[in-house]
Structures are given as structure tokens and as C-alpha cells.
């Protein structure tokens, strides 16, 4: 599809997509990247950087002006001849809100039906958005044959202010109040949830901090989210885009599992990353892991020998690798209560492990994880199964 300069729709960054690309446009799935971060962290600077670096690609930038719901009226960045202008447009499909999970996808699909496929979709959230509410909108079941897929969540943090934001009670996320349960706990701020759900964290504005301050920021962020790739930037200029910010495939593989060390760190009192090594599993034990996940993620119940505890923990992100006794491997991906266990892509890509050795791993990012013995519960569930 060719766009006249004069007719170019306001949502497209029209930088000269090729005819060849358009032949495949019905077959190709378009990645959507959620870009989140506090006010002034450098999101717009990052988006402009991507648009410039991806000259020649058709990129839709959607501004989520209203926090956790996407409204039909969106401010969209247009780029013509390197000049960015901002306009308002109507997607025209009603309000996209979290209660209607597939509407966000439908609206973008109908937009693409009208305008032709994009190469990338970048969804910039407001400074206050909880990406955990948005990700499930776009993490669509394969069976639904959507033309878009959630590629990953990128969180920008301002190196100078992030520690203050993490400790600022006024940044508390609404709707996660434990006071009903008599457990106030340390405050969970929007900065926490933006970091805990991230697949990539860009620590920006590093020109405003010393090396020592930067190290402290990195350690704190790494203790909250031990899975995310961390990049350190000035003016949001990441070293490259491929696999760094774009084309992450963060929800269809789990290669970064080994980044998370064993056990968990306590640098941040609110959110931590917990890593549990798993043995080689039989088919029955695989089912036990599935049942354990359903209990933990759907019912908030951590099964254990002594008790079944309705718990206060809150899981934001979960990834895993399961090695089976027949030599196959499975991956686990989870965000909030949603999870999926699926065959490892590219089987045989990694050397197989010696039998009996800890072979698999589950990494959990969430709140109040240190109050419960997740490892014992999971390993017991596995051991009890044939």
C-alpha cells in the first residue's frame, strides 16, 4: 500500500515501507511494545530515537493518555520527512478498557485493516500507568490468530529520581491496599510495578548521577526485577534496537532465565525476584507444576503439606524452563494471573542436562514473596507427584 505524502494517515510514521513487505502483510504478526515510565523519565525521547533509527519502517505510536484504559481518541505522532507533528485521531471502535480484554487488539486490527499493517506498534503509557493492567490486553492466545503480539514491556527510569520515587508513599498504587488484612507492609509505588513488569529497563539521564549513585540504582532495580535486561543511557540512546528494545519476543521465549540468581535479594522491601531451581520432571510432575501455578496464580493459595494458605502475595511476572525426562523442554510465561506452558521453541538449541541435575528453573517477581516458602511448596508438589 502506498501513501501519498498528503494522504498519510496521522497514526503512521510513513518512512517508506517497501512493496515486498506489503506482500506479506497478511501473514506477518506485528509486535507491540509497551513503553512505560514516570513523567519525565525520557519516554518521548526514546520514541523519537526509535523513529529516527527505524527510518524506512511504518511505526504506529499510540499514546495511552488515560492510564489503564485506552480511549478511542489518541494523540498520535506523525512523522513526515523527519518532522514529527502531533495530531488527534479516532480509531472508532468504542472505548478500549481492561474489562473487555480483546477490544484493544480489535481496535488496532481494524486500524491496520484500514491503513495497512505497521512494522511496529509502540504504546506509550502515562507516567502513572500500571503495565500489568495493559499487558494482558495484548498477550493474546495463539488460537485467536491475532495479527499483533505483545513483544515486551520497556520501562524508562530517571537515574536521578528513581530511588526517591520508589520510597515515596504518595506514589502508592491504588487497588493494592493490604490494610484490610491488617498488613500495611512497605508501600508499593507505581515505580515498583513499572519495574516489576518490565522486560527491558532503560536507566536514563545518567549524566545527572555519579558512578556510585548509578551502581546503587542498578542494584536496587536488579533486586526488584532480576529478569529484565538493564541498559544505561543518556538521552534514551540505547546501543541498538534489535533485541534490545524491539523484536524482544519476551513472551514467547524464556532465555533470560539464567540472569536471575538463586534465591532472592532483599534490597527492596516491597518487590523481589525469587528463583527456584527445578529437577528433571516426569509427565505427571509437569501436571503438578501446572496445578501449582493454577493454585498460586488463580486462587492466591500456596499449597503446602501443613496448610493451604489464602495469601497476601501478589505475583506480577513469572517465567520458567521445565526439562522433562523424555528430553523435551517446556517454557512458562506468566503475567499477573495469566500463564502459559508451551513447548520450547528451537528444541535442541541448548545442550541437554545430565539426569538428576537441577535442570529447570522458575523465576517469580512479586510482592510479599519473602513471607512464604514458595520453593518448598513447589518442590513438595513436584515430589508428591509420580
Ligand X SMILES: Nc1nc2c(ncn2[C@@H]2O[C@H](COP(=O)(O)OP(=O)(O)OP(=O)(O)O)[C@@H](O)[C@H]2O)c(=O)[nH]1
Q: Running DSSP on this structure, what letter comes out for residue 244?
A: T
Q: Running DSSP on this structure, what letter comes out for residue 277?
A: E
The contact pattern for ligand X, residues 127-166, with x = CB under 6 A and - = no contact, is x----------------------------x----------
Choose between 157 and 323: whose C-beta lies nearer to ligand X: 157
Choose between 2 and 207: whose C-beta lies nearer to ligand X: 207
Site for ligand X in 19-78 (CB under 6 A): 37, 39-45
Choose between 38 and 251: whose C-beta lies nearer to ligand X: 38
Interaction of residue 208 with ligand X, rule CB under 6 A: yes
Interaction of residue 291 with ligand X, rule CB under 6 A: no
* Alpha-carbon gap, residue 129 to 190, rounded angstroms: 7
- Rounded to 10 degrees, the C-alpha dihedral 65/68/73/77 comes to 50
Decide: helix, strand or coil at residue 188.
coil
Choose between 39 and 113: whose C-beta lies nearer to ligand X: 39
Task: Give how many residues touch ligand X by CB under 6 A.
Answer: 17
With a CB cutoff of 8 Å and minimum separation 6, the contacts of 327 are 352
Decide: helix, strand or coil at residue 220.
helix
Q: Burial code of 144-181, b = ≥16 C-beta within 10 A, e = fewer? A: eebbbbbbbbbbbbbbbbbbebbbeeebebeeeeeeee
Site for ligand X in 313-372 (CB under 6 A): none
Interaction of residue 231 with ligand X, rule CB under 6 A: no
In the set 115, 197, 205, 330, which binds ligand X (CB under 6 A)?
A: 205
Q: Shortest approach of ligand X to residue 108 CB, angstroms?
A: 21
Interaction of residue 207 with ligand X, rule CB under 6 A: yes
Q: Shortest approach of ligand X to residue 161 CB, angstroms?
A: 11
Choose between 158 and 314: whose C-beta lies nearer to ligand X: 158
Interaction of residue 171 with ligand X, rule CB under 6 A: no
Q: Work out the burial of residue 50: count CB atoms within 10 Å of its CB; fewer than 13 is exposed, 13-18 middle, 19 or more buried.
A: buried
Choose between 69 and 272: whose C-beta lies nearer to ligand X: 69
Which alpha helices (DSSP H) does the chain contain, by range?
19-23, 43-53, 103-115, 131-138, 162-166, 190-196, 211-224, 283-293, 374-383
Sites of contact with ligand X (CB under 6 A) = 37, 39-45, 127, 156, 204-205, 207-208, 234-236
Amino acid at each position: 500500500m502506498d501513501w501519498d505524502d498528503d494522504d498519510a494517515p496521522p497514526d503512521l510514521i510513513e518512512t517508506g515501507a517497501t512493496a515486498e513487505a506489503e506482500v506479506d502483510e497478511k501473514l506477518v504478526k506485528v509486535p507491540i511494545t509497551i513503553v512505560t515510565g514516570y513523567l519525565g523519565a525520557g519516554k518521548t525521547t526514546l520514541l523519537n530515537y526509535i523513529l529516527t533509527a527505524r527510518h524506512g519502517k511504518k511505526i504506529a505510536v499510540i499514546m495511552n493518555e488515560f492510564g489503564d484504559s485506552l480511549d478511542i481518541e489518541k494523540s498520535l505522532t506523525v512523522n513526515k520527512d523527519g518532522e514529527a507533528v502531533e495530531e488527534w485521531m479516532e480509531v472508532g471502535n468504542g472505548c478500549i478498557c481492561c474489562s473487555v480484554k480483546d477490544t484493544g487488539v480489535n481496535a488496532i486490527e481494524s486500524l491496520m485493516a484500514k491503513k495497512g499493517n505497521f512494522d511496529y506498534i509502540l504504546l506509550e503509557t502515562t507516567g502513572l500507568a500500571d503495565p500489568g493492567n495493559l499487558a494482558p490486553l495484548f498477550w493474546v492466545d495463539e488460537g485467536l490468530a491475532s495479527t499483533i503480539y505483545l513483544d515486551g514491556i520497556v520501562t524508562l527510569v530517571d537515574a536521578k529520581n528513581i530511588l526517591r520515587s520508589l520510597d515515596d508513599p504518595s506514589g502508592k498504587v491504588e487497588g493494592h491496599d493490604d490494610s484490610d488484612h491488617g498488613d500495611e507492609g512497605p508501600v508499593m509505588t507505581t515505580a515498583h510495578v513499572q519495574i516489576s513488569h518490565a522486560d527491558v529497563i532503560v536507566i536514563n539521564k545518567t549524566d545527572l548521577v555519579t558512578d556510585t549513585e548509578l551502581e546503587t540504582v542498578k542494584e536496587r532495580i536488579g533486586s526488584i526485577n532480576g529478569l529484565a535486561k538493564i541498559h544505561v543511557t543518556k538521552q534514551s540512546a540505547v546501543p541498538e534496537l534489535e533485541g534490545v528494545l524491539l523484536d524482544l519476543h519476551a513472551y514467547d521465549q524464556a532465555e533470560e532465565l539464567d540472569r536471575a540468581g538463586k534465591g532472592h535479594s532483599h534490597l527492596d522491601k516491597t518487590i523481589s525476584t525469587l528463583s527456584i531451581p527445578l529437577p528433571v520432571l516426569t509427565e505427571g510432575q509437569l501436571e503438578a507444576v501446572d496445578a501449582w501455578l493454577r493454585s498460586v496464580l488463580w486462587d492466591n493459595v500456596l499449597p503446602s503439606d501443613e496448610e493451604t494458605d489464602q495469601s497476601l502475595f501478589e505475583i506480577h511476572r513469572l517465567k520458567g524452563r521445565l526439562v522433562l525426562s523424555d528430553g523435551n523442554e517446556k517454557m512458562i510465561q506468566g503475567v499477573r494471573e495469566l500463564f502459559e506452558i508451551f513447548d520450547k521453541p528451537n528444541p535442541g538449541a541448548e545442550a541437554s542436562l545430565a539426569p538428576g541435575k537441577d535442570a529447570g528453573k522458575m523465576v517469580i517477581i512479586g510482592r510479599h514473596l519473602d513471607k512464604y516458602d514458595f520453593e518448598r511448596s513447589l518442590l513438595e508438589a513436584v515430589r508428591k507427584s509420580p
